[in-house]
Structure 1
Amino acid sequence: MFDTKGLLRGARAAVSAGFFNGFQVKDGITTARSLIRYGASLSGLLEVAAARFPDRVALVDDDGELTYAELRDQAVLTAQALVANGVGADSKVGIMARNGRGFLIPLAAKGYVGFTVFLLNVGASRTQIASIVDDHDISFLFVDSEFDDRVPDESSAVSICHSWIGDGARKDIAFPSFRDLWATPATTDVTFGRRPRQGGVVLMSSGTSGTPKAVGHGEPHVPLGVLGPPVETCGLQAGCTLQMTASMFHVLGWGASCIALFAGCTIVTQRNFNAENVLHQLDRYRCDGLISSAVFLKDQLAVHESDPGSYDTSSLTFILNAGNAMSEDLVRGLQERYGYILGSGYGSTEGLLVSYSSPSDLREDPLTAGHPVWNGRLELLDTDSGREVGAGQVGVVHARNAMSMKGYLGTRDREDATRGLLSLGDKGVIDPETGRLRVLGRNNDMIIVGGENIWPTSVSDIIDRVDGVAESYCVGVEDDEKFQRVKAYVVTDGSADLSEDDIRTHVRENFMAPAIPRDVVLTDRPLPRNPIGKVVKRELEAFG
């Protein structure tokens, strides 16, 4: 979709953020040449940044620091080695790596060759990986060694390179490392085409069983009208230092990483989330921004509150939640600890970013999903008629913008669209006074108790306010009398003695009778979550 007004507004936001500060004629020439040759792939964006800031640190990860020139050079070597190993523009290459150079180097190599790259969820099973490789003819796979037990066996046609090597590496097969790959004969003799034909970037939806859907996207082509709202309101500045906890293989982590590198930022990250280390990195590197998600922010806040004097986070000017919806208590807690610098993006693998709640939005309404992005459409549609519902009425969220998917790969998956808009699968309501979106929950998650519509997130928000509750998650289960009833999984933090009746009483006194959970499971174990922080429902049965 193209919206001139939104594009111009986004361009102004980018200028205000300093994206073009110090831009000289030679920079313009380099930019034009790189983007004409490699498009807005990460290769093209990195070529621009490496020419402008070659000695600036681009990445700090578990293995140390890489400057922009070093990151670009290693991406070029990787691309040359891939060509020397038979990878071409028509090839499919997968990346199954945690945050760090093991992810960014092969992704940055993509544009030089033009192959289609698959960003694989690090939580995918062996069966899922095998199905993805087979269904989409992936010929080359970059994997962190900890996932060796999930890669196809040696009889498969796929070639494998370790993107990171740790203690869990298989001993029976010696997969090459990056350096081994770079030593492929004739690697440095490879030259790239004038304008390599570019394949897409494929993200995998969160499949609960079977093979996840392969969601095809173009490159993150700096769609200013979509990215403008967070750039304008969160205080992002070109050249700043960002702590990246959000998973790079996921929607907003991928997009934010590409834009950060184009803007000459320094990305500080870690492979495995550790709340204390995040605070340590914020302090040590004087990070300006933090890009994370709700489940990680919650743990980080708990550590900071338990030991408030150990870490100096005063350098932070913005925090961006790029994952799950946040509870009111979490939003208020982050605001109290860090000030009103918290923003939040809402979207999906198919739609990418469709709305954004600024710090001022969350200050007024902690549960809002904010306003639609500037360059695109967002409507709430009636399930039966497909027509747009009025403000204040509940409908299913549909959206499409410049960052929306190109389509699903393969023949079994079909686009869920109405009136040209993609369904995000969530029910929501538009506040008639402010125009903000409030997301109520998944369309099929609503619990109908004796004719009353109960949104499980609403019940969880109430339960989370009980002293002694660390987190909760509510679902609907079958009931002989009411057809459905609410079941609550409640994680306690040990600070108070809680009973099942305490939870029921609190809901009775603060909500409505149909929402009272007849089944309450108290546990001190954390809820089962996937790598991006979403609760895995099928694993809740193990809790009772």
Structure 2
Amino acid sequence: MLVGKVTETTRSIEVLWRSGLIPFPRIDEGLQSLLAMRKVGPFAAAVMNAARRRPHAVGLVDDRGPLTFKQLDLRSNALARAWAQRGVEPGTVLAALCRDHRGLVITMAAAGKLGARLVLMNTGFAKPQLADVAKREGVSVLVYDQEFTELLSAIPDDVQRYLAWVDTDDPLAEHKIPVLDELIASTDDRALSWPSRRGGFVLLTSGTTGTPKGAPRDHTSLFATAQFLDRIPLRAGESTYLGAPIFHGTGVSQFILSLALGCTVVMRRRFDPETTLKGVQDNRCTALVLVPTMLQRIVDLGPEVLGRYDTSSLRIIFVAGSALSPDLGNRATEAFGDVVHNLYGSTECAVATVATPEDWRRAPGTVGKPPVGCRVALFDKNGNRVTKPGETGRVFVGSGLSFQGYTDGRKKETIDGLLSTGDVGHFDEDGLLFIDGRDDEMIVSGGENVFPIEVENLLVERPDILEAAVIGVPDEDFGQRLKAIVVASPGADLDADTLKDYVKQNLARYKVPRDVEFVDKLPRNATGKVLRNQLA
């Protein structure tokens, strides 16, 4: 056990050195980074360390233009001091309901410098979800964009409010809501003393089946970041385009890593596929961070539009957050080359596996292998280990970034110290992992186990289908049957019988959907996950 731990730590240090996160031979820099991480957490530490190493380099580019690392550090100092004067202290729970922009970034750093606990709210929340989460997490300070004002009507009046982004010249003047820019401009920006304790932050689950649960991140190890860098070649001093929202695990992980590496982070408040391509071109971005629906919208622009932009600087297209279909991954590879990195993880366990471009070429649809510091195992319903290639089992993950339980006290199932992801999958002969679907989405039809994702992947391979979702519905004779909900391509001439015959030609008969419904679009949340409870 000890030998394995030492080997893992040695490999992690090698990965961090190779990426530039540990600036050998400047060991003092590495020690300062570790100290900052322990004292103020990852957001503030990343800003402070980058400001010390590359003060005049551009750290952030958003809709309002560029900011250097030094400017980010000083502005977060000023905001932290302004909040401290208003009673924010270590342990205060501060929530951010913001799109991706400098106000959110500065809020994240300022919260860390004060030791406040930060809750990253989903910008797709409805009013009841926002109110429920704010009450459960004990939020006493709320930072938000003006466009979300109406959602705050269910938030108690004693919760302090601050505007991070305004859309008018006189924002909510009648309510006298403080604006972050004004607080920052009127407050001293000297560095602060270390807080008496670290605040940590809370990520929220997607909430596709109810109120999102809170997954706290109270302890973040510098060495654990090697889990991302081992199989994803981010490098110091480059440039990252962040398409995925920061409130989501995909976005926040790559945002922290990019800042820690001293990379310029490019972001926009709203995702637009062509604007993203232009941003990659203009900033010579080497990494593009997306959820699969964003990647699909980019690829769907077609060769003519894609050819207008020089994206040759891209070494990495980082995709995570939901399943990447073989068809979409292959189309992206054809458009951009061997740059697609498909990460599998969850809000609770962070990283599980990563498929490199080489893995994808060998086995389209794979989520790859565990990086350093991660373990993945499959178990059957009785808790017995599944080791045979091709045999499906429940996926369990061990990681230094795994959480210890939800903020409401609930926990995920564990076996042998490994955490359940709620998915089922199988390994192939080469040890590459494939996700077959959610454990609770498997249906039993006429005694046969069926995972809808297999049918979904087959359907979206058709050029006349934009997207598809497959669910189980009750059936008097078979217990359950499959139903396909399909979004056809513009101008496509499709009918239910055509699609049923297509599935029958490619899969077993019991996997053929009995029902097919055509819709204009699938219901999705802010990170692109299909809301299956609404489909049902």
Please give the range of the TM-score, normalised by the shorter of the 2 chains: over 0.9
**For residues 220 and 250 of structure 1, do their structure 2 counterparts lie closer, same or farther at Cα, with a shift above 3 Å needed?**
farther
Q: Following the alignment from structure 2 to structure 1, what is the Cα–Cα distance between the partners of residues 149 and 142? A: 11
Shift of 1:293: 1.2
Normalised by the length of structure 1, the TM-score is 0.92
The answer on whether the counterparts of 2:239 and 2:283 sit within 8 Å (CA) in structure 1 is yes
Shift of 1:357: 0.9
Is 1:203 matched with 2:203? yes
Q: Which residue of 1 aligns with 2:84?
A: 83
Q: Which residue of 2 aligns with 1:19?
A: 21
Range that drifts further, 487-496 or 456-465: 487-496
Per-residue CA shift, 1:148-181, capped at 9, x if unaligned? 1112457521101111112596676342211233
Q: Which residue of 2 aligns with 1:356?
A: 354
Is 1:389 matched with 2:386? yes
Q: Following the alignment from structure 1 to structure 2, what is the Cα–Cα distance between the partners of residues 30 and 286? A: 30
Q: Which residue of 2 aligns with 1:522?
A: 518
> Percent identical across equivalent pairs?
31
Q: Following the alignment from structure 1 to structure 2, what is the Cα–Cα distance between the partners of residues 88 and 55? A: 30
The answer on whether the counterparts of 2:464 and 2:492 sit within 8 Å (CA) in structure 1 is yes
Per-residue CA shift, 1:461-508, capped at 9, x if unaligned? 111122311111100101111111110011111253111111111101
Q: Following the alignment from structure 2 to structure 1, what is the Cα–Cα distance between the partners of residues 505 and 514? A: 15
Aligned amino acid, residue 415 of structure 1:
K
**Structure 1 gap segments, 5+ residues each:** none
Q: Which residue of 2 aligns with 1:420?
A: 417
Q: Following the alignment from structure 2 to structure 1, what is the Cα–Cα distance between the partners of residues 488 and 136? A: 43
Structure 1 runs, 4 residues or longer, greater than 6 Å off = none
Equivalent in 323, 336, 344 of residue 321 of structure 2: 323
**For residues 161 and 430 of structure 1, do their structure 2 counterparts lie closer, same or farther at Cα, with a shift above 3 Å needed?**
same
Q: Following the alignment from structure 1 to structure 2, what is the Cα–Cα distance between the partners of residues 196 and 418? A: 36
Q: Which residue of 1 aligns with 2:265?
A: 267
The answer on whether the counterparts of 1:240 and 1:265 sit within 8 Å (CA) in structure 2 is yes
**Structure 2 gap segments, 5+ residues each:** none
**For residues 395 and 193 of structure 1, do their structure 2 counterparts lie closer, same or farther at Cα, with a shift above 3 Å needed?**
same
Q: Following the alignment from structure 1 to structure 2, what is the Cα–Cα distance between the partners of residues 428 and 510? A: 21
Equivalent in 533, 539, 543 of residue 534 of structure 2: 539
Aligned amino acid, residue 529 of structure 2:
K
Map 1:460-471 onto structure 2 (within 5 A). 460-471=456-467
Q: How many residues align?
A: 532
Q: Following the alignment from structure 1 to structure 2, what is the Cα–Cα distance between the partners of residues 390 and 153? A: 50
**For residues 183 and 53 of structure 1, do their structure 2 counterparts lie closer, same or farther at Cα, with a shift above 3 Å needed?**
closer
Q: Following the alignment from structure 1 to structure 2, what is the Cα–Cα distance between the partners of residues 33 and 476? A: 51
Per-residue CA shift, 1:199-229, capped at 9, x if unaligned? 22111112245532111112543234x634x
Shift of 1:425: 0.4
Any idea what SS the aligned residue of 2:440 has? coil
**For residues 222 and 26 of structure 1, do their structure 2 counterparts lie closer, same or farther at Cα, with a shift above 3 Å needed?**
closer
The answer on whether the counterparts of 2:37 and 2:222 sit within 8 Å (CA) in structure 1 is no
RMSD: 2.3
Normalised by the length of structure 2, the TM-score is 0.93
Q: Following the alignment from structure 1 to structure 2, what is the Cα–Cα distance between the partners of residues 183 and 62? A: 19
Shift of 1:395: 1.2
Any idea what SS the aligned residue of 1:162 has? strand
Q: Following the alignment from structure 1 to structure 2, what is the Cα–Cα distance between the partners of residues 74 and 13? A: 32
Range that drifts further, 27-36 or 446-455: 27-36
Per-residue CA shift, 1:410-449, capped at 9, x if unaligned? 24x3333233222110011122x21111111110101211
Q: Following the alignment from structure 1 to structure 2, what is the Cα–Cα distance between the partners of residues 191 and 314? A: 40
Per-residue CA shift, 1:229-261, capped at 9, x if unaligned? x53444321111111111111112111111111
Is 1:489 matched with 2:488? no
The answer on whether the counterparts of 1:40 and 1:222 sit within 8 Å (CA) in structure 2 is no
Q: Which residue of 2 aligns with 1:43?
A: 44
Q: Which residue of 2 aligns with 1:447?
A: 443
**For residues 221 and 480 of structure 1, do their structure 2 counterparts lie closer, same or farther at Cα, with a shift above 3 Å needed?**
same
The answer on whether the counterparts of 1:427 and 1:440 sit within 8 Å (CA) in structure 2 is yes
Map 1:117-156 onto structure 2 (within 5 A). 117-152=118-153, 155-156=156-157
**For residues 328 and 194 of structure 1, do their structure 2 counterparts lie closer, same or farther at Cα, with a shift above 3 Å needed?**
closer
Q: Following the alignment from structure 2 to structure 1, what is the Cα–Cα distance between the partners of residues 438 and 27? A: 50
Aligned amino acid, residue 97 of structure 1:
C
Q: Which residue of 2 aligns with 1:231?
A: 229
